[in-house]
């Protein structure tokens, strides 16, 4: 009898704890995302400076210039490592939020079966709002493919002009991304050249070393790991450049077709 009387209070307390858990997980995700975004902004600043320096280095730059560039690029290496670590932490925080929200939703559904939907309507709405906030905080990452714009047989001049404007806007956006990727490719290639020069110098130092070479070996291991990471970056950039080039071709073709249709419509007036 006592347990039956206390059950509603117990269930309410459990729901409150579950809600607090979801709110806590959301706040942890917000903090992790903010830290990720801060590092991403720092990475952009350093990459812009390094890209300018890389553009100034001609192909086959002397070793001295490559060494100077490598020293500058090591700050970028450090930020990229921290950014990758923070992204993993953010992904774990997102998984924890999803698990907490799913658990809370199951508890609310169970409570709704006992007490009716009205009893949990406010909490379900709050949970849905939390999910929307988290989804919006993800933002747009990576290259967004261009919008699909198709002509219709019933399109008049005004509709075709509007579609041409969309195609031109998308073409400008994709072209800017193509230019960014070209700069990224140059930067990665220069960083690889600088790292290889440092690896060569480490190899020479090891051969000439008379005593312990543990420190040199660790440095060589670090360089190899850095080169592997840069090679992976270069491959990812190459794949995206191919994707962007294909998108530009499709946009140019679509715009040409739309301009041809518009000319025909105007001629037929």
Domain ranges of the chain: 1-141, 144-269
pLDDT of residue 60: 64
pLDDT of residue 13: 44
* Residue whose C-alpha is closest to residue 178's, from 252, 128, 232, 110: 252
What are the C-alpha distances in Å from 8 to residues 3, 11, 90, 126? 9, 5, 36, 21
Cβ neighbours of residue 111 closer than 8 Å, sequence gap 6 or more: 11, 15, 119, 120
| Cα–Cα distance measured from residue 226 to residue 191, given in angstroms and rounded to the nearest whole number | 10
pLDDT of residue 140: 55
The alpha carbon torsion through 85, 87, 91, 93 (nearest 10 deg) reads 80
pLDDT of residue 97: 93
Q: Are 264 and 201 in contact (CB under 8 A)?
A: no
pLDDT of residue 203: 81
Q: Are 19 and 123 in contact (CB under 8 A)?
A: yes
E strand residue ranges, 3-81: none
Kindly give the parts of the chain with pLDDT less than 70.
Answer: 1-20, 58-61, 139-142, 209-212, 269
pTM reported for the whole predicted model: 0.69
| Cα–Cα distance measured from residue 151 to residue 155, given in angstroms and rounded to the nearest whole number | 7
pLDDT of residue 185: 93
Q: Cβ–Cβ contacts within 10 Å for residue 126, how many?
A: 15
**pLDDT tens per residue, range 173-192:** 999 999 999 999 999 999 99
pLDDT of residue 212: 62
Helix (H, G, I), strand (E, B) or coil at 36: helix
């Amino acid at each position: 009898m006592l347990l039956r009387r206390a059950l509603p209070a117990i269930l309410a307390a459990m729901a409150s704890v579950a809600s607090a858990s979801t709110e806590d997980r959301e706040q942890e995700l917000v903090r992790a995302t903010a830290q990720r975004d801060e590092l991403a902004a720092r990475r952009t600043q350093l990459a812009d400076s390094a890209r300018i320096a890389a553009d100034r280095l001609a192909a086959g730059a002397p070793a001295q210039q490559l060494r100077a560039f490598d020293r500058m690029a090591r700050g970028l290496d450090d930020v990229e490592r921290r950014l990758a670590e923070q992204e993993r932490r953010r992904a774990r925080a997102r998984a924890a939020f999803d698990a907490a929200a799913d658990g809370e939703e199951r508890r609310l559904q169970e409570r709704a079966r006992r007490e009716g939907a009205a009893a949990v309507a406010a909490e379900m709405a709050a949970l849905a709002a939390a999910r929307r906030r988290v989804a919006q905080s993800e933002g747009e990452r990576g290259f967004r493919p261009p919008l699909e714009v198709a002509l219709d047989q019933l399109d008049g001049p005004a509709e075709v002009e509007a579609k041409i404007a969309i195609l031109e806007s998308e073409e400008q956006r994709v072209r800017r991304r193509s230019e960014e990727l070209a700069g990224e490719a140059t930067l990665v290639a220069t960083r690889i050249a600088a790292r290889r020069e440092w690896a060569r110098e480490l190899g020479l130092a090891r051969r000439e070393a008379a005593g312990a070479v543990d420190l040199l070996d660790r440095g060589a291991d670090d360089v190899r790991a850095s080169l592997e990471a840069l090679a992976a970056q270069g491959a990812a950039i190459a794949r995206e450049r191919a994707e962007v080039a294909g998108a530009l071709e499709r946009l140019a073709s679509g715009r040409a077709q739309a301009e041809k249709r518009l000319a025909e419509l105007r001629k037929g007036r």
